[in-house]
Structure 1
Amino acid sequence: MATRTFAKAPSTAPLMLKAALPAIPGVGSLPGVKHASGGAPDLVLQRPGVATDADHLERYREVCGFGRAESLPVTYPHMAAFGLHMALMTDTAFPFAPMGLVHLRNAITQHRPIAPDETFDVTVQAADLRPHPKGRLIDLITDVTVQDEIVWNEVTTLFARGRGGSAETSPAPLEGLEAPSSVVHWKLAGNLGRRYGAVSGDRNPIHLYPLTAKAFGFPTNIAHGMWTKAHALAALANRLPDSYRVDVEFKKPILLPSTVVFGSREAGGVIDLGVVGARKPDTHMVGRVTPLA
């Protein structure tokens, strides 16, 4: 297993450009651009000694709806991992070109809260390339450690459309879960993708402007899935334990601007949640919070 170490977060702007190159006719097959067709790359990316910038944390809390607290928002370590995700996906050893991949599922396990003044290490690797009825799936595994203790873990499941026909090797974690009914409305502005992109570094064109999103087949720009997950957990902040796992599945993109409805229900300490359209009740996201024993 090869290891690549980053002293600071990779700059996402050039990586976004690199991610777009394979989609350009005649360029995607060139050496240094064409992606391998094998399995998950035998590569680990790591960034040690990550410190939280107080101003960035405040901007993240503001755009996602988190209040001030003595610990980082549960989704915040994803910010430290995103550049590593991009570096891994744009490596030609990765089996898919990044543009066109769909962020299908996301699971975060918080083993304990992380204080804003704690320094942590981040490692990222790809694993479990597997079939899907409409293509293939692959996971990006992220571990956050403090003095060799794993305090946070994330599994980002990406879907690559293509020849499928084979059932998944294991059931989808949230299979059959319906979004809880509710009357809590979120009114999302057209510039939400640009605001979250400025904080997260995820400036994928599908999130920024109607024109750039249309170039990739969307009628207008769409909200980031990780913003939706973060905003849902911000709404539940006072009901969450210190240690838990939160799984979500992204069902359908949220077109911007729009109004959606957020709902949740709790039973036995487990919280189910969901986001649906306000005018047309399409399910955009379902999720489940499970306390750790």
Structure 2
Amino acid sequence: MPGTTLRAALGLIPRRRPGSLPEVELADRGVTVDREHLATYDRVCGFRLSDRLPATYPHVLAFPLSMRLLTDPGFPFPAIGLVHIANSITLRTPIDSGARLDLAVRATNLRPHDRGRQFDIVATARLNGEIVWDSVSTYLSRSGDAPGTKRDFPAPPVPSASWRVPARVGTDYAAVSGDRNPIHTSRLGARLFGFPRTIAHGMWSQARCLAALEGRLPDAYTVDVQFKQPILLPATVHFAYADGTFDLFGKRPHLAGQVTPA
């Protein structure tokens, strides 16, 4: 990860970039879980300690591959400054912490967005040749001259829980996930990208919501999430869940998700 972090920083240097996504898949075979790392992840995200992997945990295992792809000199966008706007995870079967997983990532589906361009990072985890988990993370590369749009936020649902999110969540999740984007770890870095304070990782907020649903989730399911407004740290957020849909919000909506049994 130190090497990819350096490449991410170097990617901010202006240069001519290709106009298309690289047609390449990166893979890592026989990946095993460090149980101490898993326990730390569980604590940071609010999961109970378990020998089953949370649905969001393979995303952390695949993140080094994603960073290698995003920081490659041939990638069309700088990794630092990308905005994670959506994620869809399908857990096809429970995954034990002792499993040896074959991971792969690729970039696909470059398309326009009203604030720039967006694309997907598709990650898969296979066990004994069968896909047991897959994820589609959608990232936005904002254009400097893209106009902002005035947003009207709907009335929030009735919360079922409220959480205090401390400032250290940014650095704690960065340490356990490897995602050290400065918007999450540095007040100065956050300001450079237009945020008044550090913001929570989107994948932390998704994991925290799933942790609140432990015991109510099926063994196999798909969770689709749209990341809305960032959580400025520290913060108090409210969680609501009903009929398979959930929301995380404060004064503004932060996340909207849905769980569908597979």
TM-score, normalised on structure 2? 0.93
Work out whether residues 87 and 225 of structure 2, in 8 Å CA contact, stay in contact via their aligned partners in 1: yes
Going from structure 1 to structure 2, the CA distance change for 1:95 and 1:114 (only over 3 Å counts) comes to same
Give the deviation of 1:20 after TM superposition: 1.8
Deviates more, 1:230-239 or 1:206-215: 206-215
Query: Residues 180, 121 of structure 1: CA spacing in aligned structure 2 closer, same or farther, 3 A cutoff?
Result: farther
Would the alpha carbon gap of residues 204 and 59 (structure 1) be closer, same or farther in structure 2, given more than 3 Å must change? same
- Distance in 2, matches of 1:211 and 1:135, equals 24
Deviation, structure 1 residue 160 = 1.3
C-alpha displacement of 1:61: 0.4
Find out whether 1:273 has 2:246 as its counterpart.
yes
Q: What are the Cα deviations for residues 264-283 of structure 1, in whole angstroms up to 9, with x where unaligned?
A: 101xxxx1001111xx2x00
What does residue range 1-293 of structure 1 map to in structure 2 within 5 Å? 12-23=1-12, 27-29=13-15, 34-37=16-19, 39-162=20-143, 180-266=157-243, 271-277=244-250, 280=251, 282-292=252-262
How much does 1:19 deviate? 1.1
Deviations 1:122-142 (A, max 9, x none): 000001111122221100000
Q: What CA distance in whole angstroms lies between the structure 2 residues aligned with 1:199 and 1:70?
A: 17
- Deviation digits for residues 62-86 of structure 1 (CA, Å, limit 9, x no counterpart): 1001002341111000111111111
In structure 1, how many angstroms separate the alpha carbons of the residues matched to 2:41 and 2:156? Answer: 26
SS at match of 1:182: coil
Instruction: Tell me, yes or no, if the aligned pair for 2:111 and 2:117 is still in contact at 8 Å.
Output: yes
**How big is the shift at 1:241?**
0.2
1:290 and 1:212 map into 2 onto residues whose CA distance is 37
**Secondary structure of the structure 2 residue equivalent to 1:196:** helix
Distance 1:164 1:93 in 2: 24
User: For residue 17 of structure 2, what is the amino acid of its counterpart?
Assistant: H
Pairwise CA distance, 1:180 = 3.6
Number of equivalences: 256
The Cα shift of 1:215 comes to: 2.4
Identity of aligned residues (%): 45
Regions of 4+ moved over 4 Å = 176-179
Contact 2:56 2:207 in 1 (8 A): yes
Q: CA–CA distance in 2 between the matches of 1:141 and 1:177? A: 31
Alignment-mate amino acid for residue 121 of structure 2: L
Q: 1:283 to 1:88 in 2, by over 3 A?
A: same
* Runs of at least 5 residues in structure 2 that lack an aligned partner in the other structure: 148-152
State the TM-score, normalizing by the size of structure 1. Answer: 0.83
Conserved in 1, the CA contact under 8 Å of 2:160 and 2:241?
Answer: no
For structure 1, which runs of at least 5 residues remain unmatched after alignment? Answer: 1-11, 166-175
Partner of 1:6: none
Query: Whole-Å Cα distance in 2 between the matches of residues 260 and 65 of structure 1?
Result: 14
